Amino acid sequence: ESVFQSTPRAPPDVIFNLTASYKADTFKDKINLGVGAYRDNDGKPFVLPVVKKADAILHQDPALDHEYLPIGGIPTFTAASARLILGADSSAIKEKRVVGAQTISGTGANHLGALFLSRFYHPGAKILLSNPTWANHKAIFNNVGIETIDYPYWDAKKRGLDLEGMLNVIKSAPEKSIVLLHACAHNPTGVDPTQEQWKQIAEVIKQKNHFTFFDCAYQGFASGNLDKDAWAVRYFESQGLEFFVCQSYAKNFGLYGERAGCLTAVTSTPDAANRVFSQFEKLQRSEISNPPAYGARVVNLVLNDPTLSKQWQDDLTEMSGRIIAMRKALYSALKKLGTPGTWEHIVTQIGMFSFTGLTKEQVSVLKSKYHVYLTDNGRISMAGLNTSNVEYFAKAVDDVVR
């Protein structure tokens, strides 16, 4: 008899479980639209050309060793990450009000930010999360004892943003709550506020003295343009707001398994910034001692080299361009079939995902009859589509909605 005999069995992770079912399926035309990982037009994982170049440079570097990184990570990496999201001419950076810690990709950035807030923000403050949101958000905040409140986000009828519902809940939350916002390419809906809507959101947050927690997992992936995808974050800075921003290099560098990320804090004084950083280091020390080196070395090299940065931008244009092309291809295939319902949202949504509006029952038929794997909420990863399977997928959708 084990002391863990009565440990409750945890349910399997939905996304990773979906991939396992897909892998076990022997049907030749099967499609995996579950996991949010970019695939090329042959359905294969994609190593960015700029990452291959950086790999080659790193492998030839005689000075490269396997020593520990500093607790807060590679200083030039965290500085470049701040410039990437805030812009090279950011006043906060110039005024030394910005600090950053290298983290275990975006998940680690969310965790470190959450842990810090659980210790050093107003006791009992809750975090407001969009409904729906990335499945991990609730768990990450609950793990450190921060309770969550949902704010409306997806208007199923409109197949778009429920701005009014969102603003109402942010307005009615207790002062100094924490508001989590997806900086761009909202996961899972693919629906982002417009610039005018962002201004309204910032205004309400300012009025209520809320603290903003940006999660930015898709910079450069949404529009293909790094600056455009950082617009909301930069606008918040211009409004004199303090905030955290979690950056992931999983998607935009294709460094999924290397776990390169950053937690950047924008504060109103250099003194506060230094205090915050000292606690990031202290928390990080007891949690992971110091962050993993390789992925951050790749990113550090690219972000601090103009030629490599230019190549990265080209790689981003290629990935985001292929995704946008697949949106158009799926939309026109559904139009051609005369599939019942409206499908414009497929082309207006941005980033890795599309929230199709397919029901749980329809998703289940897609799986059992067509070997197409997607989450029950009808979210599809656009990157799983390519010129060889998009027609097949459109026909399958056409069948299940009729």
Residue numbers at the binding site for ligand PLP (CB under 6 A): 36, 105-107, 134, 182, 187, 215, 217, 248, 250, 256, 261
Q: Tell me whether residue 134 is one of the annotated catalytic residues.
A: yes
What gap in Å lies between CA 90 and CA 93, rounded to an integer?
Answer: 5
Nearer to ligand PLP, 252 or 339 (CB): 252
Q: Tell me whether residue 251 is one of the annotated catalytic residues.
A: yes
CA terminus-to-terminus distance, the chain: 54
What is the gyration radius of the CA atoms in the chain, in angstroms?
21
Contacts of 226 (CB under 8 A, 6+ apart): 84, 219, 220, 313, 316
Nearer to ligand PLP, 86 or 217 (CB): 217
Whether 141 and 127 have beta carbons less than 8 Å apart is answered as yes
CB of 137 to ligand PLP, least distance (A): 7
Q: Six-digit token pair at 10? A: 């945890």
CB of 187 to ligand PLP, least distance (A): 4
What gap in Å lies between CA 287 and CA 291, rounded to an integer?
Answer: 10
CB of 136 to ligand PLP, least distance (A): 7
Return left, alpha or beta for 240; rule: phi > 0 is left, psi -120 to 50 is alpha, else beta: left
What gap in Å lies between CA 248 and CA 244, rounded to an integer?
Answer: 13
CB neighbours of residue 335 within 10 Å = 12
CB of 27 to ligand PLP, least distance (A): 26
CB of 275 to ligand PLP, least distance (A): 26
Q: Among residues 215, 229, 312, 315, which one is catalytic? A: 215
Alpha carbon separation from 94 to 91, 141, 206, 212 (Å, rounded) = 5, 31, 23, 21
Q: Among residues 53, 134, 229, 343, which one is catalytic? A: 134
Whether 72 and 276 have beta carbons less than 8 Å apart is answered as no
Nearer to ligand PLP, 132 or 270 (CB): 132
Nearer to ligand PLP, 111 or 159 (CB): 111
Nearer to ligand PLP, 259 or 371 (CB): 259
Nearer to ligand PLP, 116 or 134 (CB): 134
Amino acid in position 357? G
Query: 3-class SS at 226?
Result: coil
Q: Among residues 53, 154, 192, 251, which one is catalytic? A: 251
DSSP 39: B
CB of 123 to ligand PLP, least distance (A): 26
The set of catalytic residues is 134, 215, 251
